Chain A
């Protein structure tokens, strides 16, 4: 968990793909020759680097890319962490044994009927409100129909024409290392739906489950009953794909339905983003938001937060959108950012070479190893999911009181927090780091609520405490230190009761074992010595014990002052006030010269 606490603030030196060279024309964001390793909540292992392309080419692209603009929109699926699934009472835990958390409803057995888990509505309303959306007081569920073995009912319960929330926005602060800046991205809609199962493959093999699942088309366009008749009438795309896939991998399919029926929110953004960084930051903000709200763990690796990205490129000044390409298999924010930047430069290059028509509407797969996108499947027209209102479920009706009560219970949003921290005088870097994790932010808020110095509290939390958590792989909720004691510690140092050095010692004691600052100071007798007489005594003692050094000092070797200071400090067991000590020491050293 500690690994998800803080964003990595250092740039990977020259982690380059051509995409990193893309610049925004308006000059807000320059990331040329900078690492594109963006992102936030992950301190991921360093990604395999790829070779720097020939200098000449990058220059060309750099030049050309100024004439083009990328349009990016994101569809995000957020898995809600309700206790039970959306329409049955099965619990869901990531990683449990296949098909251990299933029942007639989520298996789609004949005669079973879905019963809506009201928490799903509550969470959806929370997210809708937090995204500044307009809520639909009368919405409904619809069936989205397609065939796939991981879909036990043959349809997915989703929302089609009346989503629970529409027309919102989210505010984002770009990371300082990428030039910073504030952005507002529109939210088109938020709707509720259920997750599908997972395919398991018995093939001993070359592809992990995740990769194979990502390889599979999530949707298919064809209705298979009476296929022989209709096939020419509909697209054959899906069929061909499956056929090839089967021939090629010789796998037998098994389905794990644990995940089937787990509630999801699909959040669709407006096509408001222009760069990979913006897109990644948007996704990171959603993650932050759902974690703040406590509606999802937002974990990308476990698939609790999934992003499908749409990218198109058009010449600047053109109002018509370019051909849209969808990118899948993005399981970190950095892959979101890098895949988009790669895709933009790929499309820009095609445009600049007059091959813009080669950009087709397709789904591309991000290959983490090769750091590039490859064609997964071409789209042949729009899929027809034959949506219709779910006849088993009543309409979703929200009352004003219900919405108001949820509204009143919402925690402070990340954006509001950031603005508040900013007003406190913290630097943007500090603001972003503190507000990134709600637990850290709450710890910080609790600390300053005890009237701790804002700047010092931020430094302690982001410095020694963060380092400790990282080393010990703990979250801020798992350390023994409580905000009140941190405030006490800061006050003690500031007030001169203890020295900064002692403060650090106490801090590690508190982090590891807990206890109170006062108690530790008392127990270990760590109160700073500020009595000049006492210090003088110690100085005298040290000078008396080191006549040789004293002589040398007085002989002009003034560097030895440090030695004496160290000795006195040692005698005081580190408790002497350093300023006072130096003052007295200097007086004594120089007095008899």
Chain B
């Protein structure tokens, strides 16, 4: 009891001190009420796992004793008549609700800036991450022990990484969503923040359980089956970590890659295995996410029309305009943007191209994940025996490709770039898998992603990763990559070429391409001949950064075309400029960038286009196709007809126009036309 009172006082004072500078909370109890709440908890639920634990709750989770605003003007002052199940469970386990934390309105955003109550700040001036930024900052600055967040596409893991704390998104369906204000129902998951792994485990365990009020809650029968599957797994002291090659991307910033690399080396040293794995659908995950989530959101937010909640816009004499005004008045720009996007992708003209394709990508991604893990997925229908058993225990990959940007920079960022922040977090969300962001260096987190239902294991492995002694980042690792002599090992070595190639370059040079993509400019001619070239047949993606001698490019031109029709490279850069222009092989098809319009013709099956000008600079945004679709995207200078669109399904480029420019209407119409007219020429 005394401890509870003491803690209540400490936390309350700390909340008061930091409220102005950090803005982590939307609502806090004053010292007296918090103390009373703590005393009540200590009296009513003594000696429980969460006794004397102060839990902050993201403000899109319903609590009866605080307002629930979702950081939206549309819900200002709304007080829920009931507690969310997760809140009731926390209370029943002895936890004290310490306040409601700030977020991006309705959970939409990656930096916790889009809040009706002002942005969440950090002590360093960097982005707190989002959308559960308030919860992360509250834990990081010791304003509570544990915080609840919601994770739809990374909203718990990203802020956890940016604030150097633990952030856990459990498997979808384990923690009840009853009382969690929906953003995208099929993705929303209650998540947890903590500094202390033990507290995190307690909070999760207490929240985990079937809830009849949530139809998507995992049933007791499946939970039993899951327990059986988990119990039958053989214990292994040495773990096998999977490294998805698709995550080794150009955008990965140096410090993040270094931290990742060092961690892998440390794991290897500790006797664990590192395996390069492939998630072929992963490049499409982000686009699928940004179609699915806004689509569901546009529907979920329809109810906040001001007729029932929050404020009606002043001067709204008639119902129709009232809807329009209230919704404009009540919602922030980011929410409006996503509602518009979602409404569009569900419209009759677009749904087949967008929503349905995205759902297909989601299914493929789930299959990709399932094929990797040793543990079978209890939700999949396939019998254990029929399944190609995977080999890895967990996936280890960065939570964010970059360090948190400065808040000032985020504000200038185009919405598209803000979307891209989620590139590493959405895959686990789409597949419903448990994912823990472990702080591995300052403002850098690595995600441990496990099989569905393997949550406790993920939390345990998180502890393993967190306890690693990570050595000097710039340690040379040449000894790791000696070419093995025996042919079998040599094959394995080749499979790991990317990792080796990456490790081999010591980070001083700009490095491009990993995975089955091959980095050419760091390879010597001999390597190209002996190692790279034979493997061209199998590469999925090839970054052709032509060395100064131009040799590699030339070889590739002829060779690649001959190598494999489906992975053919049409090399358009021959001898151009200073020999630095580059193209990028894409999926099964080909897409090469160049300044010349005709060079942008893209084969139908191409899955990705990168538009690069004659000097090897990327001009224009990368477009990505989904499924059979084709990508759109062209440099600003491209003339009409520069890019042919065949049943395009990727809208990012056009979204950019929708939101970057003022004339939104025309852009929406343009967007519609993409869906309608095959081969429409889009000029961005």
Q: Which residues of A contact B (CB under 8 A)?
A: 104, 107-116, 143, 145, 147, 149, 152-155, 222-233, 238-239, 242-243, 246-247, 253, 255, 382, 384, 386-388, 391-394
- B61 an interface residue at 8 Å Cβ cutoff? yes
- Which residues of B does A touch, CB under 8 Å? 61-62, 68, 70, 75, 78, 80-82, 84, 177-182, 184-186, 212-216, 295-296, 298-299, 301-303, 305, 307-309, 317-321, 323-324, 327-328, 331, 336, 339-340, 343, 346-348, 351, 355, 664-665, 668-669
Among B179, B212, B215, the one with the most A-chain Cβ atoms within 10 Å of its Cβ is: B215
B321 → chain A, closest Cβ, in Å? Answer: 7
| Chain B nearest CB, measured from A344 CB (Å) | 32
Give complex CA distance A247, B320 in Å.
12
Q: Please tell me which one of the listed residues B216, B318, B346 contacts residue A394 in the complex, with CB atoms under 8 A apart.
A: B216
B215 in complex: contacting residue of A109, A229, A394, CB < 8 Å: A394
State whether A154 and B299 are in contact (beta carbons under 8 Å apart), knowing that A111-B84, A225-B331 are contacts in the complex.
Answer: yes
Bound: A154/B301 CA distance, A: 8
Whether the Cβ atoms of B328 and A111 lie closer than 8 Å is no
Q: In the complex, what distance in Å separates the CA atom of A253 from the CA atom of B320?
A: 13
Contact A116 B303, beta carbon cutoff 8 Å: no
Given contacts A143-B299, A391-B296, contact A223 B68 (CB under 8 A): no
> B324–A115 contact, CB under 8 A?
no
Specify which chain A residues have a CB less than 8 angstroms from the CB of B302 in the assembled complex: 145, 147, 153-155
- A110 touching B68 by the CB < 8 A rule? yes
Can you name 12 A-B pairs with beta carbons within 8 Å? A110-B68, A111-B84, A111-B182, A112-B179, A116-B215, A147-B302, A224-B323, A386-B299, A386-B347, A386-B351, A391-B185, A392-B182
Pick from A109, A145, A392: contact of B80, CB under 8 Å: A109
Q: Evaluate contact between A229 and B664: CB separation under 8 angstroms.
A: yes
Contact A224 B307, beta carbon cutoff 8 Å: no
Among all A-B residue pairs, the 8 with the closest Cβ atoms:
A154-B302, A227-B324, A239-B320, A391-B185, A386-B346, A391-B186, A224-B323, A111-B179
Q: Bound state CA distance, A387 and B299, in angstroms? A: 10
CB distance from B215 to the nearest CB of A (A): 5
Beyond A225-B298, A384-B348, A386-B346, 17 additional contacts (C-beta under 8 Å) are A104-B82, A110-B80, A110-B309, A111-B80, A145-B346, A154-B303, A224-B324, A226-B336, A226-B664, A227-B324, A229-B340, A230-B668, A242-B318, A242-B319, A247-B318, A386-B347, A391-B296
Given known A110-B70, A223-B343, A226-B328, contact A115–B215 (CB-CB < 8 A): yes
Q: Contacts A111-B182, A233-B668, A391-B296 given: A225-B327 contact, CB under 8 Å?
A: yes
Determine the residue in chain A with the shortest Cβ distance to B342: A386
**A231: chain B residues within 8 A (beta carbon):** 324
Bound together, the chains give a CA A381 to CA B168 distance in angstroms of 48
Give bound CA distance, A232 to B84, whole Å.
Answer: 41
Among A115, A155, A253, which residue has its beta carbon within 8 angstroms of that of B319?
A253
Chain B residues near A392: list those with CB within 8 A.
182, 185, 215-216
In the complex the two chains form, is A111's CB within 8 Å of B178's CB? yes
- Contact in complex: B305, A147 (CB < 8 Å): yes
> A384: which B residues are within 8 A, CB to CB?
347-348
Q: Are A110 and B215 in contact (CB under 8 A)?
A: no
Whether the pair A110, B181 counts as a contact (CB closer than 8 A) is yes
Number of A-B contacts (CB under 8 A): 151
Residues of B within 8 A of A224 (CB): 305, 320, 323-324, 327
Assuming A110-B80, A226-B339, is B70 touching A246 (CB within 8 A)?
no
Whole-angstrom distance between the Cβ of B616 and the nearest chain A Cβ? 39
Q: Which of B81, B82, B299, B320 contacts A243 (CB 8 A)?
A: B320
Q: Are A232 and B665 in contact (CB under 8 A)?
A: yes
Smallest CB–CB gap between A234 and chain B, Å?
A: 9
| Docked-complex contact A108 and B303, CB < 8 angstroms | yes
Q: For A109, what are the chain B residues with a Cβ–Cβ distance below 8 Å?
A: 80-81
Contact A149/B307 with A227-B323, A228-B328, A391-B186 known, Cβ cut-off 8 Å: yes
CB closest chain-B residue, reference A232: B665
Q: Which of A223, A253, A393, A394 has the most CB of B within 10 A?
A: A223
Contact A233 B665, CB 8 Å, known A109-B81, A110-B181, A384-B348: yes
A111 touches B62 (CB 8 A): yes
Shortest Cβ gap from B363 to chain A (Å): 13
Residues of A within 8 A of B216 (CB): 113, 391-392, 394
In the bound complex, residues from chain B placing their C-beta under 8 Å from that of A242 are 318-320
Q: How far is it, in angstroms, between the C-alpha of A303 and the C-alpha of B320 when the chains are bound? A: 27
Give the distance in Å from the alpha carbon of A222 to the alpha carbon of B75 in the complex.
23
Q: How far is the CB of A248 from chain B (nearest CB, A)?
A: 11
**Nearest chain-B residue to A88 (Cβ)?**
B213
Most buried by A among B75, B184, B298, B319: B319
Is the beta-carbon distance between B61 and A393 smaller than 8 angstroms? Answer: no
A225 and B332 CA atoms in complex are apart in Å by 12
Q: Once the chains are docked, how many angstroms separate the CA of A113 from the CA of B178?
A: 6
- B254 CB, min distance to chain A CBs, angstroms: 39
**Minimum distance in angstroms from A218 CB to a CB of chain B:** 15
User: A104 vs B302: C-alpha distance in the bound complex, in angstroms?
Assistant: 16
Residues of A within 8 A of B323 (CB): 147, 224, 227
Partner of A225, one of B78, B177, B184, B339: B339
Residues of B with C-beta under 8 A to A232 = 665
**What are the residues of chain B within 8 A of A229 when measuring CB–CB?**
340, 664-665, 668
In whole angstroms, how far apart are the Cα atoms of A227 and B339 in the complex? Answer: 12
CB pair B299–A145 under 8 Å, yes or no, is yes
Contacts of B181 in A (CB 8 A): 110-111
Shortest distance in angstroms between A217's beta carbon and chain B's nearest beta carbon?
11
Tell me the complex Cα distance, A228–B668, Å: 13
Contacts of A247 in B (CB 8 A): 318
- Contacting residues, chain A, for B303 (C-beta < 8 A): 108, 110, 152-154
Output the residue of A111, A145, A227 with the most chain B CB within 10 A.
Answer: A111
Q: Cβ of A388 and Cβ of B355 under 8 Å apart?
A: yes
**Chain A residues whose C-beta falls within 8 Å of the C-beta of B668 in the assembled complex:** 229-230, 233
Bound Cα distance from A568 to B179, whole angstroms:
86
Q: Choose one: B296, B301, B308, B339; the contact of A152 (CB below 8 Å).
A: B308
The docked-state distance in angstroms from the alpha carbon of A239 to that of B317 is 13
Contacts of B321 in A (CB 8 A): 227, 239, 243
Complex Cα–Cα for A104 and B83 (A): 11
Question: CB distance B61 to A111 under 8 Å?
Answer: yes
| Chain A min CB distance to B543 (Å) | 38
Q: By the criterion CB–CB under 8 Å, are A230 and B327 in contact?
A: no
Residue of A nearest to B211 (CB): A113
Q: Which residues of chain A come closer than 8 Å to B298, judged between CB atoms? A: 145, 225, 386
CA separation between A155 and B185, bound complex, in Å?
Answer: 14
Question: In the complex the two chains form, is A110's CB within 8 Å of B78's CB?
Answer: yes
Given contacts A114-B215, A246-B318, contact A228 B348 (CB under 8 A): no
Complex CA distance for A228 and B68, rounded to whole angstroms: 29
- Beta-carbon contact of A113 and B328 below 8 Å: no
Contact residues in B for A387 (Cβ distance below 8 Å):
346, 351
Contact A104 B78 (CB under 8 A): no
Closest A residue by C-beta to B84: A111
Give the distance to chain A from B454, nearest Cβ to Cβ, in Å. 22
- The interface residues of chain A lying within 8 Å CB-to-CB of B180 are 111
CB pair A386 B343 closer than 8 Å: yes
Tell me the smallest distance from the CB of A118 to a CB of chain B, in Å.
12
Contact between chains at B62 and A388 (CB < 8 Å)? no
Asked whether, in the complex, the Cβ of A230 is within 8 Å of the Cβ of B319, the reply is: no
Give the chain A neighbours of B186 by CB distance below 8 A.
391
The smallest C-beta distance from A144 to any residue of chain B, in angstroms, reads 10
Rounded to whole Å, the gap between the CB of B365 and the closest CB of chain A is 17
A230 to B669, CA, bound (A): 9
Q: Which residues from chain B contact A113 at a C-beta distance below 8 Å?
A: 177-178, 213-216
